[in-house]
Structure formats: structure tokens, C-alpha cells
Structure 1
Amino acid sequence: MNSRALITAQNLLFSKSFQTQIVRCGSFRASKPVGDLSQYISEYEVTNDPKEWKYVEDLLPPKIVPTPKLKDEYPSGWSMPSDAAKNHPYFIKRSKNFMQPVYLDVTYRGTKRLTSVKRIKGDIWQLENELKSYLQETKNQKLIPTYVNELSGEIKFKGDHVTAIKQWLTSKGF
């Protein structure tokens, strides 16, 4: 008997001695049939009464983000964009939730931080120069590397400058 036939015979004996059946439990087909489910279905009736439908509408999420109510101050410090933003050669459009589009990207296990300002229309280079000079004054740094993408309307600053940029945007009316 050669070695290949011996190994095959040993494997056959090994598998027959245990007589196991492999069952996959991760699929819905591997679960046992439940049987009659009609006992679990609750009874209901269809109604067109507007008084009852009012309670259902309160549970549904709104289809659009509602415009915020105008106040002098909000508890979170949030502010509406003012008309002073129209006087600049550039414009930064807010997100659909009325938030300023300033984001922090953390990569390389938290060692690389990039602050990005998105949704910029108009003269992006002038905005980059003004923001860069403001950040250099507030952070007491000589150089803050930037990356400007005109096609997507985005400026990236090296470092975490989110709060400083948001304060500057609020002071300019954006």
C-alpha cells in the first residue's frame, strides 16, 4: 500500500469514527422551522380618521430640516448667518443643518490632524490668505501649511484649528 492510499484510508476512518455533521448556524436556512406564525400576528384595523393620524405624524421624522427660530442668543452659542457675509468676494455656504462646514480630519492613528473648510464659492485664494494670517496671529506661528482645492471649493490647514476658524467665520457673518 503506498503512502497516498494510506493517508486516504486514515482520513476515511477518522471521519467515520466521529460521524459528525457540519451545521452552519449563521444563515437563516440553518435555523429550525418555526411553524405556524399566525398566533403571533396581532389584530389591527385600518382607519382614515384625521384625529388618530395626528398622533402618527408626531412620531414620523420631518422630511426637511426645519428653519431655526430667530433669537438673539442660543444656549449652544450657535448663530444665524448675517447679511455682512454678502459683502465679501467669497462665500461659505452652511450645511443642510445650518452648521459651518469646518471639519477636523484625524489620520495616522491620531498623529496627523487636518482642518478643512468646505463649500467655498468665489475668491478662494483671498479667503485662504485672510484665514492663514488670522491663524498665524492667534496661534503665534510663523508658518501654517495649507492646501487649496479650487474645483471642490475646499481649503485644508495642517493642525487642529476648528474653533479658531469657526470664531473667525462667525465674526465675518458666515
Structure 2
Amino acid sequence: MLRRVALPFLGRAGQRLSSTDIPEKHLDKFDVDNPNYTKFEVVSDPDVWSHVERLMPKKIVPPSPTEGGPSGWTPVRLTREEARELPYFVQRTRNHMLPVYQRVDIRGPRYVTVVRKVQGDPWALRNALKEHIKQIRGTDDVTTMVNELTQTVGIKGQLVEEVKDFLIMKGF
């Protein structure tokens, strides 16, 4: 036998299930006074609610800080005028991080370091990165790829930190 029951607030699922038909054998699970389930209390005090809002995730990403952090993160140092003079620009992600990633292909452990969000001339960035990595490794064997459609530059190897250091040195 089914019975229509009003449910307590259950988050987003509770918005869909504000009242529903529940079989009789499961009614004890929705009993608010059941001692097997956690008790809750509805509070509308604004002083207490400020502590709850502090724990909730932010709806937007805050603006970029102007100072570096203890983790080693550094803000963009280029001004708009300096960025316009360069042949390429690497835009940060929405969380103010450098878009440098490591991709692992399945055929053997093949690692490719990928720089995304390249604006302007990706070939100029590839040439600059290639020269920088040649100096670090001390060899001329640097394999790169450029995808103009997706505006990405790829470098064969595990070079995420070296590429990030290069981009920070350039002011991105």
C-alpha cells in the first residue's frame, strides 16, 4: 500500500521529492522522530548563518591577488601594453593558474607536456620553448608539435615545471 508523505528538506534531491508516494514498509526511514537518524534543527539566526555562508563554495572566482603566495604561485607581471608587443600570449585559467599540463599516451609511457590557451603566434612560443629546453637539457633533441586549431603547443617529455618556470620568467 502507498501513502503520500511530505519529506524533510533533503538538498536538491529534496526539491524534487518534496512529497512522494512511499511504500508502507519504508515509512520508518522518513520518520523525523526516528532515533536511528541524525537530528537536525532549522536555524534562521543571521549571526549563525554568517558562519554557514563562510563554509559554502564561492559562486565566482575572486579577482587575482597582486602578491605571490607561499606555495610559489606568482601573479601575471605583464602589463597590457607589454603583452600587446609580444608575438604570443598565454592566458591563465579561470583559477589564475598556468595552463600547462602533462598528457600520458597509452603506447608505452609516452609523456607530452601541453601548453594550452596560446594566443597569437603559437610557432613563436614553440621556438622560444625549444631554445629554453635545449639550454636546460644541453641537447638539440627536442621534439615539439603545434596545433593551430586548438592553439596548443606540445613538447615531448615530462617538462611541466620547466615550461611553467619559463612562462613565469616571461611574465605570464
* Same fold, TM-score > 0.5, yes or no: yes
Aligned to 1:168: 166
Unaligned runs of 5+ in 1: 1-32
Cα distance change on mapping 1:117 and 1:45 into 2, 3 Å: closer
Q: Distance between the aligned counterparts of 2:53 and 2:78, measured in 1?
A: 36
Q: Distance between the aligned counterparts of 1:69 and 1:127, measured in 2?
A: 26
Decide which of 44, 65, 74 is 1:79's aligned counterpart. 74
Give the superposed CA RMSD.
2.3
- Partner deviation per Cα, 1:112-140 (whole Å, 9 max, x = no partner): 11000000000111111111111112111
Amino acid corresponding to residue 36 of structure 1 in structure 2? D
Tell me which protein shows more strand as a share of its residues. 2
Aligned to 2:41: 44
Amino acid corresponding to residue 76 of structure 1 in structure 2? S
Superposition map of 1:105-124 within 5 A? 105-108=103-106, 111-124=109-122
Amino acid corresponding to residue 136 of structure 1 in structure 2? K
- Partner deviation per Cα, 1:70-113 (whole Å, 9 max, x = no partner): 33x43222110112561311110011111111111123276211
Decide which of 128, 133, 151 is 2:126's aligned counterpart. 128
Q: Distance between the aligned counterparts of 2:170 and 2:122, measured in 1?
A: 15
Superposition map of 1:1-174 within 5 A? 33-37=25-29, 38=31, 39-40=33-34, 42=39, 44-45=41-42, 47=44, 49-71=45-67, 73-83=68-78, 86=83, 87-108=85-106, 111-174=109-172
Amino acid corresponding to residue 121 of structure 1 in structure 2? Q
Q: How far apart are residue 160 of structure 1 and its match?
A: 1.2
Q: How far apart are residue 142 of structure 1 and its match?
A: 1.3
Alignment coverage as a number of residue pairs: 141
- Structure number with greater Rg is 1
Per the normalisation by structure 2, the TM-score is 0.72
Q: Distance between the aligned counterparts of 1:50 and 1:69, measured in 2?
A: 30
Using the aligned pairs only, state the percent identity: 36
